Amino acid sequence: MNDVFDLRDLALPVISSPMAGGPSTPALAAAVSEAGGLGFLAAGSTAPEAVAADINAARVDTTGPLGVNLFVVDAYEPNPVLLDSYRRSLQPEATRLQVALGEPQWEDDHWQAKLDLVLDLRPDMVSFTFGCPADDVFDALAHRGILSCVTVSSLDEATAAVARGAGSLCIQGHEAGGHRATWDADASPSTSPLMTLVSAIASSVDVPVVAAGGIVDTSTSRALMDRGAVAVQAGTAYLLTDEAGTNATHRAALVDPNFTRTTLTRAFTGRWARGLENRFIAEHADAPAGYPHLHHVTFPLRQAAIAAGDMEVAHLWAGTGHSHVRSGAAADVTRALAP
Ligand SMILES: Cc1cc2nc3c(=O)[nH]c(=O)nc-3n(C[C@H](O)[C@H](O)[C@H](O)COP(=O)(O)O)c2cc1C
């Protein structure tokens, strides 16, 4: 049994969110860790070989702590009638962008291969979103000195994760950019603000808790740590940094004054996620549940929109603090978020 990584040993209690789909590069993770925080890599929706390459690349640039995030994709059968009708409603957009829509399908995001990989390569921390692994997974991680972390968006999820053996929790408030971590794919998204959740959960569990969602300044970090968080985690705040792999369309939208608000939508992936409100979101407010089926259906559409610089159809994940994000070095953002 190895000593498990302890978040309280971080020089700065700041974590960069895992951000799948490009933003979380090895360079970003390494820069955050070198600045005294904890940099995360996103293994979700990424081939296992690419995840291994990312871990090795980050380790070239830092000897600091490193985190890796995995998706827990439970079996799910969406309503076939709603799924088909939604897919047909997307055909005009696909025709306009000259792409074929993807096929709806369920897959487990290479769960076992990625789990084996992190057990082998031993990053300091492994976090999970969209669900909670079985207790033997937590035991295996702890045995290798890896701190496990389950992302939760309610007190019920928090107590269930700790009962199963989670070594820490990442509490996600409704302000957060990107997908909601909610375990129940059919559930309406929780509206609980981060401050309320952290107060309720930190006092009810005996594992370290990290706070995430809408954090863009030091005073918010301080208030969250006063409520019991041992560290804060931010994603949107890093999207415009030099080291982030955020695509040009997403970067342009984040500084475009026409995008004034974020909203929750299922239109892109069949799972609730927060992004800058654009035409695609507005036109598909009734999109059904269906993750990862709809992620596969809309994938070619989103790729084409990103390539064409089409900000009205691309998915532009961002949290409620989006208007405060700034460009520059990730180390500066890390220091600016530290309490
Ligand atoms: C572009 C983007 C991609 C994200 N991808 C992931 C992911 O792969 N895994 C994950 O657990 N969370 C993901 N998230 C959510 C973050 O973990 C975290 O909850 C969120 O960044 C916190 O809110 P903030 O963006 O307002 O700081 C993503 C967030 C963004 C903005």
What pTM was computed for the model? 0.98
Q: For ligand 1, atom 5, which residue shows the shortest CA distance? A: 19
Residue 285 CB burial class (10 angstroms; 0-12, 13-18, ≥19): exposed
For 64-208, strand residue ranges (E) read 66-71, 125-129, 147-152, 169-172, 178-179
Is the minimum distance from the CB of 262 to ligand 1 under 6 angstroms? no
If one counts every other C-beta atom within 10 angstroms of the C-beta of residue 186, the result is 10
Q: Pocket of ligand 1, candidates 14, 15, 19: which has the most ligand atoms within 8 Å of its Cβ, to mutate?
A: 19
State the distance from the centre of ligand 1 to the C-alpha of 179, rounded, in angstroms: 7
Average pLDDT value for residue range 164-187: 96
So where are the chain's domains?
Answer: 7-73+108-245+326-337, 77-107+260-315
Average pLDDT value for residue range 251-270: 97
Question: Does the pLDDT value for residue 295 go beyond 90?
Answer: yes
State the distance from the centre of ligand 1 to the C-alpha of 180, rounded, in angstroms: 8
> For residue range 110-166, what is the model confidence (pLDDT) as tens digits?
999 999 999 999 999 999 999 999 999 999 999 999 999 999 999 999 999 999 999
State the distance from the centre of ligand 1 to the C-alpha of 107, rounded, in angstroms: 21
pLDDT at 186: 84
State the distance from the centre of ligand 1 to the C-alpha of 1, rounded, in angstroms: 31
Q: What confidence tier does 1 reach under pLDDT thresholds 50, 70, 90?
A: low
Q: For ligand 1, atom 11, which residue shows the shortest CA distance? A: 129
What is the distance between the alpha carbons of residues 180 and 174, in angstroms, rounded to a whole number?
Answer: 8
Which ligand 1 atom lies nearest to the CA of residue 175? 26
Q: What confidence tier does 187 reach under pLDDT thresholds 50, 70, 90?
A: confident
Q: For ligand 1, atom 21, which residue shows the shortest CA distance? A: 235
If one counts every other C-beta atom within 10 angstroms of the C-beta of residue 327, the result is 14
Is the minimum distance from the CB of 259 to ligand 1 under 6 angstroms? no
Average pLDDT value for residue range 182-188: 89
Which ligand 1 atom lies nearest to the CA of residue 216? 27
Q: What confidence tier does 185 reach under pLDDT thresholds 50, 70, 90?
A: confident
Q: What confidence tier does 308 reach under pLDDT thresholds 50, 70, 90?
A: very high
State the distance from the centre of ligand 1 to the C-alpha of 81, rounded, in angstroms: 30
The closest alpha carbon to 235, from 151, 145, 109, belongs to 151
Which ligand 1 atom lies nearest to the CA of residue 176? 23
Q: Quick check: 137 and 200 in contact, CB under 8 A?
A: no
Q: Quick check: 170 and 149 in contact, CB under 8 A?
A: yes
- The distance of Cα 178 from the centroid of its chain, to the nearest Å, equals 6
Is the minimum distance from the CB of 333 to ligand 1 under 6 angstroms? no
Which ligand 1 atom lies nearest to the CA of residue 318? 31
Residue 56 CB burial class (10 angstroms; 0-12, 13-18, ≥19): exposed
Q: What confidence tier does 176 reach under pLDDT thresholds 50, 70, 90?
A: very high
DSSP, res 243: T
* pLDDT above 90: percentage of residues in the chain: 97
Q: For ligand 1, atom 13, which residue shows the shortest CA distance? A: 19
Q: For ligand 1, atom 17, which residue shows the shortest CA distance? A: 17
Average pLDDT value for residue range 215-243: 98
Helix (H) or strand (E) holding 273: strand 273-276
Is the minimum distance from the CB of 321 to ligand 1 under 6 angstroms? yes
Q: What confidence tier does 189 reach under pLDDT thresholds 50, 70, 90?
A: confident
| DSSP-derived secondary structure for 115-136 | HHHHHHH--SEEEEESS---HH
Instruction: Select from 3.40.718.10, 3.30.565.10, 3.20.20.70, 3.40.50.10800 the CATH code of 7-73+108-245+326-337.
Output: 3.20.20.70
pLDDT at 2: 74
Is the minimum distance from the CB of 37 to ligand 1 under 6 angstroms? no
